[in-house]
Amino acid sequence: MSSLAINERRLIRASAGTGKTYQLTNRFISRLLRGVPPSQILAVTFTRNAAAEILNRILVRLARAASDPEETGRLGEAIGEADLQPARCREVLGEVVDTLQQLRVSTLDSYFNQVATSFSLELRLPVPWQMIDDIQTAELKREAVRRVVNQGNQAVLRRLVNLLAGSDAARSVEDTLVGVVTDLHRIYRETEAGTGDKAWKWLKPPSRPGRSEIDEVVKAMENAPLPEGSSWQKAHQKAIAD
């Protein structure tokens, strides 16, 4: 693991299991001990488990340093505070516990959600708004499929379902369609504009070939060399006839 200070900030480069959480808690505790209010320190990570681990280590290390002089010495050495005293650790621990609800140790998703909520009007989001969970997402997909099915041509829909289901006839119609919607929705969201159908209109469908173009293709097929074997000859004759 290596670290690089950039204008009083520190970039830590490390692989898994090399002590990133330890270094992050050192930085967090160091700022607390220097008088920075807990509510003004932000620690974000990718998962809830990692965020919970960071918060737990902050509290545990402060609590141990507040009650055990040896732990105080270890913490002081880790954060570059050689004269750190247990009394100071107890004071900071009390501040953290008293303002625990303001402590900003969370996931990146949670932090972005808070920012978006704070600037809902500027972002033109409805007020109030919320992120939907997996259960709500599944229900919305099913509702969308129901609406399309109710508005569509039943004969076309039956043909579509048969093509999609293939040999898996045991699956329900709804499950089959929802599965397709789920798979294609991921692709749709990666297109140029995941809003409406603009992403699909830039590619124009090819025009139908004219009679002369068809004749040219047939002539090319008639003159194409074939491997030896009767099956190739039969397939060649059938393709030209069709």
Give the integer Cα–Cα distance in Å for 67 and 90: 8
Q: How confident is the model at residue 211 (pLDDT cuts 50, 70, 90)?
A: confident
Burial class of residue 23 (count of CB atoms within 10 Å of its CB; 0-12, 13-18, 19+): middle
φ, ψ of residue 139 to 5 degrees: the values are -70, -40
User: What pLDDT sits at residue 195?
Assistant: 56
Q: Which residue has the tokens 């009767």?
A: 230
State the first-to-last Cα distance of the chain, in angstroms, to the nearest integer: 68
Sequence spans of domains, the chain: 2-118, 134-201, 211-241
SS3 49: helix
C-alpha atoms less than 13 angstroms from C-alpha of 222 in its C-beta half-sphere: 9
Length of the chain in terms of residues written: 242
Q: Are 41 and 56 in contact (CB under 8 A)?
A: no
- 26-84 pLDDT, tens digit per residue, is 999 999 999 999 989 999 988 999 999 999 999 999 999 999 999 999 999 999 999 99
pTM for this predicted structure:
0.58
User: Is the CATH number of domain 2-118 3.40.50.300?
Assistant: yes
Give the integer Cα–Cα distance in Å for 70 and 65: 8
132: CB partners within 8 A, 6+ apart:
140
- 124-182 pLDDT, tens digit per residue, is 888 788 888 889 988 988 898 888 878 877 777 777 777 776 655 556 777 778 888 88
171 or 6, which is more confident: 171
Q: How confident is the model at residue 91 (pLDDT cuts 50, 70, 90)?
A: very high
Structure tokens at 47: 């998962």
